[in-house]
Amino acid sequence: MKTIKLLTILTFALVSQAFSQTYLGYLTSDVSITDSTGAKVVKKSKKGDGILIYTLDLYGKDSYKVHHINGNKDGFLSRQNILLVKSVPYLAQTQDEIKQAIIDSEMKMPVLKLYNNTKGKLSLKFGNEKIELKPQERMSVKMNKGKYYYKLAMEGQQAYYGVEVLTEHKMYDWEFYLGK
């Protein structure tokens, strides 16, 4: 009986370690990822940068252990600066294999997070992509990385033209409104 209990406990412990939960997210503001003490800056990061959160277990009062995807740096970051996007279960392998598999499959394409904070319909031509946004509509669009010329138009308003370079593992947060 003791052997069966011990075997059951060992099996549960191995299964718990083999299957875990990792999360993907984006930074909600410009922040510094620090070492475990919070004293040394490991990576200065920009709003919208993609990150991998190893676990939702807190370190200290409110920090997660994270991996900055484009900077390829590990460190700690306050959970208040993170927008969780997706949980990703994985079968434990080496840490590098886990990171690369999740990063490549889940967040490689840049994301445009759009918000039409006006009372009129907006038209956005982004490269060859045509996007229509109704008043107060929010939308997320995955794009390929690259340089895009765009045109933003609204009836009764002068069109706005611009250029944006989209990089992998990044979220771009755009809010459209009429100036005073």
Distance in angstroms (rounded) separating the CA atoms of residues 156 and 177: 14
- What's the CATH number where 38 sits? 2.30.30.40
Q: What is the 3-state secondary structure (H, E, C) of 54-114?
A: CCCCCECCCEEEEEECCCCEEEEEEHHHEEEEEEEEEECCCHHHHHHHHHHHHCCCCEEEE
Percent of the chain past pLDDT 70, that is, above it, reads: 77
Last residue of a domain, one of 88, 106, 124: 106
- What's the CATH number where 132 sits? 2.60.40.1120
The verdict on 53 and 121 lying in the same domain is: no
Predicted local confidence at residue 104, as pLDDT: 60
The verdict on 63 and 123 lying in the same domain is: no
User: How many domains are there within the chain?
Assistant: 2
Q: Tell me which residue range forms the domain holding 149.
A: 111-176
What are the structure tokens assigned to 60, written together? 């200290």
91-141: pLDDT as tens digits: 545 666 666 666 565 567 888 889 999 999 999 998 888 999 999 999 988
> In Å, what is the CA distance from 72 to each residue of 26, 55, 103?
15, 17, 11
The verdict on 98 and 118 lying in the same domain is: no
Predicted local confidence at residue 125, as pLDDT: 93
Other Cβ atoms less than 10 A from the Cβ of 44: the count is 11
41-73: pLDDT as tens digits: 999 999 988 888 888 888 888 899 998 888 888
The verdict on 99 and 120 lying in the same domain is: no
Q: Are 140 and 157 in contact (CB under 8 A)?
A: no
Predicted local confidence at residue 180, as pLDDT: 45
The verdict on 92 and 23 lying in the same domain is: yes
Residue 2 pLDDT class (50, 70, 90 cuts) = very low
Q: Is residue 8 part of a domain?
A: no
The verdict on 95 and 55 lying in the same domain is: yes
In this prediction the pTM is 0.62
Last residue of a domain, one of 81, 106, 131: 106
144-163: pLDDT as tens digits: 899 999 999 998 889 999 99
The verdict on 128 and 151 lying in the same domain is: yes
Q: Is residue 14 part of a domain?
A: no
Predicted local confidence at residue 57, as pLDDT: 87
Predicted local confidence at residue 89, as pLDDT: 66
Half-sphere exposure of 142 (CA within 13 A, CB side): 6
The verdict on 71 and 85 lying in the same domain is: yes
C-alpha 2: how far from chain center: 47
Nearest to 68 by CA among 19, 38, 31: 31
Distance in angstroms (rounded) separating the CA atoms of residues 46 and 4: 52
What are the structure tokens assigned to 14, written together? 């191995």
The verdict on 87 and 131 lying in the same domain is: no
Predicted local confidence at residue 121, as pLDDT: 93
Which DSSP symbol is given to 169? Answer: T
